Chain A
């Protein structure tokens, strides 16, 4: 039962990721693309944790931890670049 729920959650997260990807490819200007990339990062994080649950190894969560901490820096760098130059 819990396994099925995790798989369903992975499927829903993947669907949300597809919608954000469509916006990333389509977006006319760079700011839209930066926000879409941030959204995709925040969606891929629970996918990595869900994968750790499905496979059953807790070491996979370290990778999600690294991404969670470092994704903020990329978005800040983009925001400063788009505003007035990095």
Chain B
């Protein structure tokens, strides 16, 4: 049962990664990357590595998202 859940979760990460690659809007790519980070954290926990999962959680939940958003806003400002 846990193995079936693992398969579905890996399919979700694959879809998120492909979607983040092929999105035209930068904000949507950042959001799909955030989903990939969240699911990767669950997979680390499933494989028995809570330290790595906590690192992924602490960095991917707030910090990476905000840094990408601020960078997107700055570069768009320069081009306008």
Q: Do chains A and B touch in the complex (CB under 8 A)?
A: yes
Report which A residues bind B (CB closer than 8 A): 7, 10-11, 14, 17-18, 21, 24-25, 30, 33-34, 37, 40-41, 44, 47-48, 51, 54, 57, 59-60, 62-63, 66-67, 70-71, 73-74, 77-78, 81-82, 85-86
Report which B residues bind A (CB closer than 8 A): 1-2, 5, 8-9, 12, 15-16, 19, 25, 27-28, 31-32, 34-35, 38-39, 41-42, 45-46, 50, 53-54, 57-58, 61-62, 65-66, 69-70, 73
> Given known contacts A51-B45, A67-B61, A85-B73, is B54 in contact with A62 (CB within 8 Å)?
yes
Contacting residues, chain B, for A11 (C-beta < 8 A): 1, 5
Interface of B is mostly: helix
